[in-house]
Amino acid sequence: MRRRTPPVVVRLAPQPAVQAVVALLAAMTAGGLAAWALGHQPQAWPALLAVPAAAAWAWRAAAVGPRRLRWDGQAWWLGHPHRDDDETAVQLTVLIDLDAWLLLRAMPGPRWLPLSRHQQAAQWTALRATLFAAPPSPGEPS
C-alpha cells in the first residue's frame, strides 16, 4: 500500500534572473543569425535590429506571474495566489532539475514554471519530495 504524500503549497513569483538568461540566449541567437546574414550579404545590416527585439520578446515571454501551486494529496492545482475559485488541475513534469532550481511543465497549457530554492526555502524539501514521490495523476503515464 502506498503512503499518501502530504499537502504542499508553493507560491511562484517572478524570477528576473531566469528572464535575463532567456533574453540573453535569444539575443545571442538573433545576433548570430544577423552576423551570418551580414557575412553573406553586407546589405543585410537591418537584421541587427532583430537583436534587441528578440531580447525584449524573450524577456516578456519568460515572465512568470504570481501563481500558487498546490498538491492536495491527490492532484496538483495551479491558480492565482489569493483566489481558490480559479484553480486548474494540472499534470506536472520535471523538465530540468539542477538541485537548487527546477523547471516544471504544467499541462494543460503548457505553462512553464521555474522554481528556485531561494524563493521556496521553507517548502523546497517538501516540494521536491512530493514531485518525485507522488503517484501520477489519472491519465498520466506511470
- Whether 42 and 71 map to the same domain: the answer is no
- Whether 82 and 50 map to the same domain: the answer is no
CA–CA distances in Å: residue 21 to residues 12, 28, 89, 100 = 18, 10, 29, 16
140 lies in some domain: no
Q: What's the domain count of the chain?
A: 2
- Whether 74 and 125 map to the same domain: the answer is yes
- Whether 76 and 48 map to the same domain: the answer is no
Q: Is 109 helix (H, G, I), strand (E, B) or coil?
A: coil
- Whether 75 and 124 map to the same domain: the answer is yes
pLDDT at 76: 93
pTM above 0.85, yes or no: no
Beta strands in 13-124 (DSSP E): 67-71, 76-79, 88-97, 101-107, 111-116
- Whether 54 and 72 map to the same domain: the answer is no
Query: What are the tens digits of pLDDT across the range 50-100?
Result: 999 999 999 998 888 889 999 988 899 999 887 767 889 999 999 999 999
82 lies in some domain: yes
pLDDT at 3: 60
Orientation angle between helical segments 50-61 and 16-40, nearest 10 degrees: 150
Q: Are strands 67-71 and 76-79 parallel, antiparallel or unpaired?
A: antiparallel
Mean pLDDT of the chain: 87
Phi and psi based region of residue 73 (left: phi greater than 0; alpha: psi -120 to 50; beta: remaining): left
